[in-house]
Amino acid sequence: MARTVLTWWIPLLILQSFLLAIAFGSNEVEEEFSESLLLKPLPDRKVLAHFHFENRAPPSNSHGRHHHLFPKAISQLVKKFRVKEMELSFTQGRWNHEHWGGYDSLSSMNAKPVGVELWAVFDVPHAQVDTSWKNLTHALSGLFCASINFLESSTSYAAPTWGFGRSADKLRYGSLPREAVCTENLTPWLKLLPCRDKDGISALMNRPSVYRGFYHSQRLHLSMVDSGEEGLGSGMLLEQSLTVVLQPDTVYDGKDLQPSWSLSSLFGRKVVGKCVLAKSSNVYLQMEGLAHQALWKNEEFELSTQPDRTLRESSSFLYIFNIDKSSDSEPFDLGLTWKLPSKWSCKQAPLHASRFLMGSGNERGAIAILLKATESQDKLSGRDLTNGGRCTIRANVFQIFPWYVKVYYHTLQIFVDQQQNTSSEVLKKINVSPSTDKMSSGMMEMMLELPCEVKSAAISIEYDKGFLHIDEYPPDANQGFDIPSALISFPDHHANLDFKEELSTLPLLSKFKEKSLVRSYTEVLLVPLTTPDFSMPYNVITITCTVFALYFGSLLNALRRRIGEEERFLKSKGKKTGGLKQLLSRFTAKIRGRPVESPSSESTAAAQSSVLSSKLLFKIILVAGVAAAWQYFSTDK
């Protein structure tokens, strides 16, 4: 019987698989995966490595739930929570805007605040956005082994309107500055790649060398690509990038040369071939601000491998290497050897932003954001000359305040070149949503319009420190609390790499060719808050209750007391002496070995005390008896 069923079923299954294959074959657009690595020597003797993986799922309905290359976990996430766009980044270390650049696509996209940052745009009705956000944080938390679920509580996220640089009304933004980022976050991130870290460029990610760097930021950006066709769903584009800044090991040779390096010296590994599933697999080397020719061997430096292509940008050269040819026997190991000392500087954002705390003590303080003009500002082309010929720089400030930093918005002061300015001159737009205690975090969005010749601008705002319930403090309460980074963006300034060539086959470069908003994050601030005594709850409860019992009892006693009655009561007490009491007093006297005190009217006080003590004795015996009986019966059962 079973055999006959099998003989019927097997051909059917084979037929079905054929049908499926035909169905797939008919679909022309396929899922694409590409990998690339950008290397860039930095002016301060460091090297930047930017891994970029792009995974594109075309818009289609026929796939159903199945994907060839696109990670299923992410597509399920998108379908379930209807995420329109999302970015998650894990960062350790701080991006050095002065030396590593602040006005290029790389820094504006990949310089992220310390810890975890997550923002997402949803495609759900307004009322459901918060629920979707909460569910998304939980899902991501599980997916990336991080405490992203802490962003669930309404005190840790905000809904920016325009200050974030993306005007979407269903946007939620949250960040966790204290999250420690390590290899347990990288492993699940790598699992989303089709070749993981087994093959191709990602095989370079040797954990010790990646985490030894000065800065590393792993980023996951997900966006929906509208197909534009009716009936077809939207496609998904998943970009994963890892940016690391490494210090090549060098021996100082006294010639002030930039350090020479190779892939194997930076990562301890070589590329032994591309990921076979990748459509394109390239390594780029960007040499910035040098006055040399586009030769790969010149008097200044020398590359170990000949580039396949050289591109010229306005201020830099790009050498493109294809790693298709590399194999186990002939691994790809790009090296750069400097011959002459050289110096260059990176393009800077128009204003350099930093943030600090003012004041001392644990009661109040002030937060100040300082914007300093950078040297390269004059060379900038992105000025806005619309304002009646007056040259101005516009800057948006976006800042989230946790509720325990109680900000007084009326104390906002703006100083331009150390001169206090009335708000309306400089402050063009402000949007504030104040924080509610234990309910929601505060948010401030400001648009400043500063004159171009400004040297420095400072914003200061005062705050009171909140006092928390003992359960609300983290285990290391005395370490302090973090205020998330402020985001400064320059809406008139856009960064891009200016190529003349058509670059649709090179995903990373076509991405850099698009204009991106210049933005920079400030430092995370550590605010120490006062702590109560964590060992005191019982003491405080008992002492306070005792004081109130004292109040209630003594006041009621004062009200109740009637002196005349008391006198009469005492008199009547003095007259009568019960037989039992006499017996007891005799008994106690015998125990004490003293003669019986005759209860006389003179020593009423003594009699009273003996009566009191006998009463007390009786009560104690009674209570003890009851307790013993209770103990006996309760243990019996």
Partner 1 sequence: MTKDDGETVEEQKKKPCRFWIWALSSVLFRLILISFAGNLNLSSRPEVSTPLTSIRRLAEGYWLKQASMSPYAGSMYHGSPLLLSLLGLLTVQRIKGQPSHLFCSLVFVIADILSAILLRGIGHKLQMAYGLNARLLGLLKSPTDKEGILPSGDIAALVYLWNPFTIVCCVGLSTSPIENMAVILALNGAVTRRVPLAAFGLVMATHLSLYPAILTIPVIFLLGYGLDAPPLKLFLQTRNVESDNRSSTSSASKQAKSKPTAQLPFLWRTVVHFVFWVLVWSLCVLVLCGLSLSKHGGLEEMFKRTYGFILSIEDLSPNIGVFWYFFAEVFDFFRSFFLIVFHVNILFMLLPLAIRLKHRPCFLAFIYLAISSLLKSYPSVGDSALYLSLWALFVNELADMKFSFFLFCGYLGVSLLSPVMHNLWIWRGTGNANFYFGNAIGYACFQIVFVVESVSAMLNHDRALKKCNPNHQKVKN
Which residues contribute to the site for partner 1 (CB under 8 A)?
Answer: 360-364, 403, 406, 408-410, 430, 432-438, 442, 464, 466-471, 530-533, 536-537, 540-541, 543-544, 547-548, 550-552, 554-556, 558-559, 561, 563
Q: Are 158 and 441 in contact (CB under 8 A)?
A: yes
In angstroms, give the least distance from the CB of 165 to partner 1: 23
Residue 133 phi, psi dihedral angles, 5° rounding? -60, -45
In the complex, least distance from residue 526 CB atom to partner 1, rounded to whole angstroms? 15
Smallest separation, CB 413 to partner 1 (Å):
13
Q: Is 524 in contact with 482 (CB distance < 8 Å)?
A: yes
Hey, what's the torsion of the CAs at 410, 411, 417, 419, to 10 degrees? Answer: 90
- Least distance from partner 1 to the Cβ atom of residue 419, Å: 16
* 8 A C-beta contact, residue 202 and residue 50: no
CB of 572 to partner 1, least distance (A): 19
Instruction: Quote the least distance from Cβ 429 to partner 1, whole Å.
Output: 12
Nearer to partner 1, 115 or 484 (CB): 484
Least distance in angstroms from the C-beta of 361 to partner 1: 4
Q: Determine contact, residues 503/514, Cβ cutoff 8 Å.
A: no
Nearer to partner 1 by Cβ, of 184 and 464: the residue is 464
Helix (H), strand (E) at residue 373: strand 364-373
Residue 64 or 361: the one with the smaller Cβ distance to partner 1 is 361
Q: List Cα–Cα distances, 191 to 90, 187, 198, 603, in angstroms.
A: 16, 6, 10, 93
Q: Provide, rounded to whole angstroms, the least separation between the CB of residue 469 and partner 1.
A: 6
Residue 59 or 532 with smaller CB distance to partner 1: 532
Residue 536 Cβ vs partner 1, minimum distance, rounded to whole Å? 6
| Cβ nearer to partner 1, comparing 552 with 618 | 552
CB atoms within 10 A of CB 536: 11
Nearer to partner 1, 312 or 562 (CB): 562
Smallest separation (angstroms) from partner 1 to the CB of 163: 16
Residues 395, 489: Cα–Cα separation, whole Å: 6
Q: State the nearest-atom distance from the C-beta of 175 to partner 1, in Å.
A: 21
At 95, give phi and psi (nearest 5°).
-70, 130
Q: Which is nearer to partner 1, 287 or 448 (CB)?
A: 448
3-state helix, strand, coil in the chain (%, to 5): 30, 30, 40
When the beta carbons of 76 and 530 are compared against partner 1, the nearer one is 530
Specify the amino acid at residue 301: F
With H, G, I as helix, E, B as strand and everything else as coil, classify residue 54.
strand
In angstroms, what is the minimal distance from the CB of 482 to partner 1?
A: 20
Least distance to partner 1, CB of residue 542, Å: 11
Alpha helices in 561-578 (DSSP H): 563-575
Round to whole Å and give the CA distance between 131 and 135.
Answer: 6
For partner 1, which is the closer residue by CB, 273 or 442?
Answer: 442
Residue whose CB is less far from partner 1, 30 or 437: 437
Q: What does the DSSP 8-state code read for residue 120?
A: E
Q: Which is nearer to partner 1, 93 or 434 (CB)?
A: 434
Kindly report the CA angle at 543 between 537 and 547, in degrees rounded to 5? 145
Q: Which residue has the tokens 């000359």?
A: 385
Shortest Å, Cβ 420 to partner 1: 13
State which residue, 361 or 579, has the beta carbon closest to partner 1: 361
Distance between CA atoms of residues 534 and 536, nearest Å: 6
Q: How far is the CB of 373 from partner 1 (least distance, A)?
A: 30
What is the C-alpha separation between 384 and 393, in angstroms, rounded? 7
Task: Classify burial at 516, counting beta carbons within 10 Å of its beta carbon; exposed 0-12, middle 13-18, buried 19 or more.
Answer: middle
Q: Strand 516-521's sheet: what is its strand order?
A: 427-433, 442-451, 392-401, 487-495, 516-521
What minimum distance in Å lies between the beta carbon of 167 and partner 1? 21
The sign one gets for the Cα dihedral 541, 544, 546, 551 is negative
Indicate the residue among 332 and 403 with the shorter CB distance to partner 1. 403
Nearer to partner 1, 290 or 366 (CB): 366
Nearest-10 crossing angle of helices 563-575, 604-636: 90
| DSSP conformation class of 532 | -
Beta partners for 368? Answer: 356, 460
Helix (H, G, I), strand (E, B) or coil at 52: strand
Q: Which segments of 192-262 does DSSP mark as H helices, in order?
A: 207-211
In angstroms, the CA 262 to CA 315 distance is 24
What's the rounded Cα separation, in Å, for the pair 427 and 491? 15
Q: Which two tokens stand for residue 82?
A: 């209807």
Q: Are residues 238 and 163 in contact, defined by beta-carbon separation less than 8 angstroms? A: no
604-636 vs 579-592: helix crossing angle, rounded to 10: 90
Residues 249, 118: contact at Cβ < 8 Å?
no
Closer of 62 and 423 to partner 1 (Cβ): 423
Beta strands in 475-561 (DSSP E): 481-483, 487-495, 516-521, 525-527
Q: Of the two residues 323 and 461, which places its CB atom closer to partner 1 in the complex?
A: 461
Cβ–Cβ < 8 Å for 514, 498: no
Longest dimension (CA), the chain: 124
